[in-house]
Amino acid sequence: MAFNRQDHWVWDFWLADDGEQFHLFYLHAPKSLGNPDLRHRNARIGHATSEDLNSWTDHGLAFDAGPPGSFDGSATWTGCVIRDDSGLWRLYYTGSRFLSEDSNANIETVGLATSPDLFNWTKQPGPICVADPELYETLGTSSWPEEAWRDPWVFRNEGDPTWHMLVTGRAKTGTEPDRGVMAYVTSPDLNNWTVQPALSATGAGFAHLEVFQVVAINGQNHLIFCCDTPKLCGQREGQKGGVWSLPVGDMPGQVDFAKARLLVREQLYAGRVALTREGEAVLLAFNNVTTEGAFIGGVSDPIPLQIDADGYLAVKA
């Protein structure tokens, strides 16, 4: 595998490209916890670099979680990195606050850290964005065990002054548990964010839609996201989960997730598409579980992708 740590579990990650090196920001938790299921409430963000997406140099912890009781006092989860017009790097991440030791109930919000060089980070007072109860499900308003507001993906289109954020969220209405939606937030300056209505409808068969990415390949936008087998519902119940994708038009825009197609099964998860220095589209994902369901961890080697005749992404044969 491309990246792993012997003494830590490694799973979700995201990438930044400074033009010379690829920067990997990854979730990790110590194996000394014993049970890999405990990694979620102990996650921290690490940092590694590579020139080719294959060989990585680890730089350890990017920054720590906050004090107990703060918005990221339990764990720091998945996010994204962008560079603003001044050259400052901004890392938007998920802050997780578990409400008790014996419950999976947690509140997720979006935090921000900034850096001049991708190595030295300053966390901003947070959170900078939370679920709006007028538009989205919040903890206690359904049987769902968490307040889902995580995995921010931030982008801006050329010539557009508005910044856009896609977030894993859940709708207030719809048949449970089939309420997974792509939540949407906007900002004029990357500091002040306004929660908007979702860019998708419920009922597409996903209880949650995780780890969004929008990537343009040969002039066509593709939306990448994840949903595992236990969270498939409605029309997709009984199918296998994993990394999903679908071609989309200009983003932001309404997305019909009923048209999503499985890209790779959930032995790989939290997939990210990157473009090599040669311009080839490749998929990286973390090694999720064995065929028996045991957690593995670690980031995969790059997997070459192609565009099928119907316009969908596929793994190259």
> For position 74, what pLDDT does the model report?
97
What tens digit of pLDDT does each residue of 70-128 get?
999 999 999 999 999 999 999 999 999 999 988 889 999 999 999 999 999 999 998 99
Q: What is the pLDDT of residues 199-237, one digit of tens each?
A: 999 999 999 999 999 999 999 999 999 999 999 999 999
- What pLDDT is stored for residue 269 in this prediction? 98
Q: What is the pLDDT of residue 103?
A: 86
User: What is the model's pLDDT at position 1?
Assistant: 65
Domain range list for the chain = 67-315
At residue 293, the pLDDT reads 81
Report the chain's terminal Cα–Cα distance, integer Å: 19
Cα–Cα distance for residue pair 129/107, rounded to 1 Å = 12
User: Which tokens belong to 69?
Assistant: 């009781």
Structure confidence at residue 280 as a pLDDT band (50, 70, 90): very high
Question: Measuring CA to CA, which residue among 240, 245, 248, 254 is closest to residue 272?
Answer: 245
Tokens of 238: 């009984």
Q: Which of 101-110, 241-250, 295-304 has the lowest mean pLDDT?
A: 101-110
Please give the Cα distance from 311 to 151 (Å, whole number): 26
Cβ neighbours of 126 (radius 10 Å): 18
Amino acid in the structure at residue 316: K
* DSSP string for 226-277: EE-GGGB-GGGTTS--EEEEEEE-SSSS---GGG-EEEEETTEEEEEEEE-T
What pLDDT does 163 receive? 98
Please report where in the chains the tokens 């050329």 appear, as a residue.
158
pLDDT single digits (tens) 17-62: 999 999 999 999 999 999 999 999 999 999 999 999 999 999 999 9
Write the pLDDT tens digit of every residue in 144-158.
999 999 999 999 999
pLDDT-based confidence at 66, cuts 50/70/90?
A: very high
67-315: in CATH 3.40.50.12780:
no
What is the pTM assigned to this prediction? Answer: 0.97
Residue listed under structure tokens 């900002």 = 187
